[in-house]
Amino acid sequence: MRRIIKIKYRSLVLIIEIGIFLLLLFIAYNSISMPSKKTTFYLDDNTISTLLKTLEEHGFITYSIDRYVLKFMTTPKKGWYTINSNRQGRLEFFKSLHHKKAKTMYIHIYAGETAEELTQRLANDMKLDANKLLKSYKSKSLYGEADIFSGKYQLAREADSNTSIEFLFMQSKKVLKHFIDDNYHNKKPDFADIKVLLTVASIIQKESNSIEEMPLISSVIYNRLAKKMKLQMDGTLNYGKFAHTIVTPERIKTDNSAYNTYKHKGIPPVPLCTVSIEALNAAYHPATTPYFFFMLKKDGSHQFAQTYEEHLKNIQIFKSSNKDTKRSENNSTSSE
């Protein structure tokens, strides 16, 4: 009997000791407080790995034990979060994240914008430093331009320059990955393939915003490249600081850069601007046409031609139509 009591007593003592040890461990863990820091970040999913990685990227020190503790907690959902500057115990910090949802706003990235234009407008919308935004863009850029796709994005109002650009790049990489997964089934494209595709897409984007016309313009580009012809497209000269300037005969004559496809064969060295997914699709799926030429019409659409003679004829008809319109307007003014 004494032996049974002794065994039970030892078991009780052991349980109490384990309980005390766990309590001390809990107190010790919770005493490793998170630093007094205010930051805004985006969680791309609600996994423990993403949460800890994101916190580390924003200056919070994490430990291996955090991963085990978080298994017994509900991790925050995907979205934007803002942490205030109060110092907290470790457990309280992780538990409170659910209530730290950040206020957000929608911003638009427009097709045809350069990185400088994009960051300048983003700076105005979010009250951020345009230089910091552009610096962050350039530090992350793979292609020079076209790293961010056009579209509507939800950003935290308090996100800083680096976090905002990081988010836009991350979302655009997802769009690109989805495009690659949908179109490249056997062999995945390398960096050079994607860069060429984005460059062609940017030329298409500069030439037209019409989703219906994009595959036709794409066909002209590839038809001319296949015949070793110069592209001779004004859109390629709308690069950098010349993004929205009118291309004059003087510009064509004096611009000696690799962007001048009137002087140089092939495509420009890098993309010209932000592109839409529609332009990228057109670059990968050009229409099958016999066209080698196109010209802008009065209504903003384009007229396509197979031969240079046909193209010249279209230009003459266009000029004659303009003369008739001006003559009619002058006669109408005189009669008044």
pLDDT tens digits for 220-279? Answer: 999 999 999 999 999 999 998 888 888 999 999 999 999 999 999 999 999 999 999 999
Please report whether residue 314 resides in a domain.
Answer: yes
**Residue 144 falls in which region: left (phi positive, over 0), alpha (psi -120 to 50) or beta:** left
* Structural domain contains residue 282: no
14 in any annotated domain: no
For residue 82, the 8-state DSSP code is: E
In a domain? residue 83: yes
Q: Are 268 and 259 in contact (CB under 8 A)?
A: yes
User: Mean per-residue pLDDT for 165-170?
Assistant: 96
The C-alpha atoms of residue 287 and residue 14 are separated, in whole angstroms, by 78
Verify that 63 and 82 share a domain, yes or no: yes
Please, which pLDDT band fits residue 336 given cuts at 50, 70 and 90? very low
Residue 22 placed within a domain: no
Domain termination site, one of 183, 214, 246: 183
pLDDT computed for residue 329 by the predictor: 45
Q: Considering only 4-8, 90-94, 121-125, which range has the smallest mean pLDDT? A: 4-8
Residues 110 and 176 both lie in one domain: yes
Asked whether the predicted pLDDT for residue 6 surpasses 50, the reply is: yes
Q: Would residue 89 count as lying in a domain?
A: yes
End-to-end CA distance of the chain: 125
Model confidence at 95, in pLDDT bands (50, 70, 90)? confident
| Cα–Cα dist 151/260, whole Å | 29
Strands (E), the chain: 39-43, 79-83, 104-109, 151-156, 293-296, 302-305
| Selected residue with higher pLDDT from 1 and 244 | 244
Residues 112 and 162 occupy one common structural domain: yes
- Domain count across the chain: 3
Q: How far is CA 268 from CA 53, 111, 143, 263, in A?
A: 38, 18, 12, 11
Same domain, 33 and 81: yes
Shared domain for 91 and 109, answered yes or no, is: no
Tally the C-alpha atoms within 13 A of residue 130's C-alpha that lie toward its C-beta: 11
What pairs with residue 82 in β-bridges? Answer: 40
Domain end call among 136, 152, 183:
183
- Please indicate, yes or no, if residue 325 is contained in any of the structural domains: yes
Q: Give 333's pLDDT tier (boundaries 50, 70, 90).
A: very low
Q: What are phi and psi of 270, to 5 degrees?
A: -145, 165
Together in a domain, 93 and 123: no
Query: What's the confidence (pLDDT) of residue 20?
Result: 62
Look up the domain containing 48 and give its range: 29-99
What is the band of 301 on the pLDDT scale with cuts at 50, 70, 90? confident
Q: Residue 129: inside a domain, yes or no? A: yes
Q: Are residues 62 and 116 in the same domain?
A: no
94 and 122 both lie in a single domain: no
Boundary (domain end) residue, out of 75, 99, 123: 99
Question: Do 59 and 74 fall within a single domain?
Answer: yes
Is residue 2 scored above 60 in pLDDT? no
Q: Percentage of the chain with pLDDT > 70?
A: 83
